Chains A and B, each alone.
Chain A
């Protein structure tokens, strides 16, 4: 149970025959932060989707926080996802709701009392430095700010694992560095973080472990 993520000989073949992951075995230790790199189509997104239970492996075993994902029934998927913080390249914010409501959504889903929701949403917005913007609509924010809202929404449920798929893909280098520093800070508070990115320069500056994928194979570094 020391590993938060454990892939054991995982194969993912999509309907149609495309082999996205080929016998991938890897681990992410509890409290660790690592980057998942590789060219586009290397299998980064597939790996993230397997952890988020958006896809199921063709063969092999995925264990997250001690939970064998093969044993998570379709009906239990929502509850599982509530404890994994997902962050997306396109932010996936809801544009008809305020920043506050966007961040509150995971707590509303869990049915928390209004008082607790307010407290925790404010704390999350404070963490990403957007407390002053809680009443604004996402459309009025810059790309970097929108991604911060996305991150606040991912951490508001206190996940044991943060999973970010190309979080800086739509941002310029300065903003990207800001977002990465934010991940570092979150990791320092004990959350395990896995970030898929093709921004090799940024990854090399930061000096965390790199997990490299190439055409579905794990490359040893």
Chain B
């Protein structure tokens, strides 16, 4: 409508082609320029920018750290779960030979990986050695301990199936009791579930915090540039043009915040490195620490960028609409 340029009207076809490619290269160029310019703006007020970025970084690091913790603990719990053994206590009237043959028979069960028979005598000897109650036990006159078969369930068995196996073993002839000391493992699993859920809740809350932090920073930024924005509107800048550098700032805040979060987590890893190494080596290679991995790092960066952008987007429209030259 307003654009009735006589220069272009002189040769319409050629002009429209050149103006199209001109517009395309201009568009890409102006975006690239804008991206760098907004980084330059952050740099110019680097103290304020740094504070914002640090706060975002810490806010992102906390839920991410919890996530890594839960992932490793889960791993650990699975390891422990696999080392679970069922203690099958035999009737005291069963001889050592009978016990050994029962242990042999149980080994045929598909759900059982291995069995190890400990006769009453072996048990007593071990207990004397371990407990130091040797004299008291001698005074007792007879062996109060039953024979025990240590049953190792097949690998990676779900807890429910292990429970069924325990019941089945308890019902077997000559068996007094089958016991799986799993209560602490269930508790650990419940605690891990809780931490995992908590990390999501904390993650959501802190994500909201990041959105508000970026929103507030951008709001102040816009307020500081009020005169510039008015001038741009007077020169015919559309809202999209004025909005763009601020959106890119939000993007930078999110990206740099994510980088800070990763550095913070790296620092935590180094700080905890000594005790962690000791813990890991005590598992003789059964336990390997898991970090974020490349995809995890990518995700943190992506989430950071997204949160920064969202925080900016929800602020910038309202703020810019409030600024009109007059």
A: residues with CB less than 8 A from B are: 49, 52, 54-55, 65, 67, 72, 75-84, 86, 88, 92-94, 96, 105-106, 108-114, 116, 153, 157-158
Q: Is there an interface contact between B236 and A81, defined as CB atoms closer than 8 Å?
A: yes
Q: Is there an interface contact between A113 and B1, defined as CB atoms closer than 8 Å?
A: no
B2 contacts which chain A residues (CB < 8 A)? 65, 67, 72, 76, 79-80, 82-83
Total chain B interface residues with beta-carbon distance under 8 A: 31
Picked from B3, B29, B227, B235, the residue with its CB within 8 Å of the CB of A114 is B29
Shortest distance from the beta carbon of B41 to any chain A beta carbon, whole Å: 9
Q: Fill in one digit per residue for B191-232: 1 if any A CB lies within 8 Å of its CB, else 0.
A: 000000000000000000000000000000000000110111
Given the known inter-chain contacts A67-B2, A92-B231, A111-B26, please indicate yes or no for A78 contacting B326, CB distance below 8 A: no
Q: Is residue B154 within 8 Å, beta carbon to beta carbon, of the partner chain?
A: no
A49 contacts which chain B residues (CB < 8 A)? 326
Closest to B23 in A: A111
User: How far does the alpha carbon of A104 sit from the alpha carbon of B241 in the complex, in Å?
Assistant: 14
With contacts A92-B227, A96-B44, A153-B235 known, what are 18 further pairs, Cβ within 8 A?
A52-B234, A54-B324, A72-B2, A75-B238, A76-B1, A78-B233, A78-B238, A79-B3, A79-B238, A81-B236, A82-B2, A83-B3, A92-B231, A94-B228, A109-B235, A112-B22, A114-B26, A158-B5
Q: Is there an interface contact between A82 and B235, defined as CB atoms closer than 8 Å?
A: yes
Closest to B231 in A: A92
User: How far does the alpha carbon of A109 sit from the alpha carbon of B228 in the complex, in Å?
Assistant: 13
Sample 20 A-B pairs with CB under 8 A, ordered by A number. Answer: A52-B234, A54-B234, A54-B325, A65-B2, A77-B236, A78-B239, A78-B241, A80-B236, A81-B233, A81-B234, A83-B2, A83-B236, A92-B230, A106-B235, A109-B232, A111-B23, A111-B26, A111-B30, A112-B26, A113-B26
Q: Is residue B289 within 8 Å, beta carbon to beta carbon, of the partner chain?
A: no
Q: Is there an interface contact between A67 and B1, defined as CB atoms closer than 8 Å?
A: yes
Closest to A73 in B: B1
Closest to A66 in B: B4
Q: Is residue B27 within 8 Å, beta carbon to beta carbon, of the partner chain?
A: yes
A112 contacts which chain B residues (CB < 8 A)? 22, 26
Grouping DSSP codes into helix (H, G, I), strand (E, B) and loop, the B interface class, with mixed when no group exceeds half, is helix
User: How far does the alpha carbon of A116 sit from the alpha carbon of B30 in the complex, in Å?
Assistant: 13
Shortest distance from the beta carbon of B249 to any chain A beta carbon, whole Å: 15
B4 contacts which chain A residues (CB < 8 A)? 65
Q: Is residue B323 within 8 Å, beta carbon to beta carbon, of the partner chain?
A: no
Q: Is there an interface contact between A105 and B235, defined as CB atoms closer than 8 Å?
A: yes
Shortest distance from the beta carbon of A56 to any chain B beta carbon, whole Å: 11
Q: Is there an interface contact between A82 and B30, defined as CB atoms closer than 8 Å?
A: no
A110 contacts which chain B residues (CB < 8 A)? 26, 236
Q: Fill in one digit per residue for B1-39: 1 if any A CB lies within 8 Å of its CB, else 0.
A: 111110100000000000000110111011001000000
Q: Is there an interface contact between B26 and A54, defined as CB atoms closer than 8 Å?
A: no
Most central of B25, B26, B236 by chain A CB within 10 Å: B236
B155 contacts which chain A residues (CB < 8 A)? none
Q: Is residue B125 within 8 Å, beta carbon to beta carbon, of the partner chain?
A: no
Q: Is residue B237 within 8 Å, beta carbon to beta carbon, of the partner chain?
A: yes
B33 contacts which chain A residues (CB < 8 A)? 108
A81 contacts which chain B residues (CB < 8 A)? 233-236
Picked from A75, A79, A114, the residue with its CB within 8 Å of the CB of B236 is A79
Closest to B237 in A: A109
Given the known inter-chain contacts A67-B2, A111-B27, please indicate yes or no for A86 contacting B22, CB distance below 8 A: no
A106 contacts which chain B residues (CB < 8 A)? 235-236
Q: Is there an interface contact between A82 and B236, defined as CB atoms closer than 8 Å?
A: yes
Q: Fill in one digit per residue for B231-259: 1 if any A CB lies within 8 Å of its CB, else 0.
A: 11111111101000000000000000000
Q: Is there an interface contact between B1 and A86, defined as CB atoms closer than 8 Å?
A: no
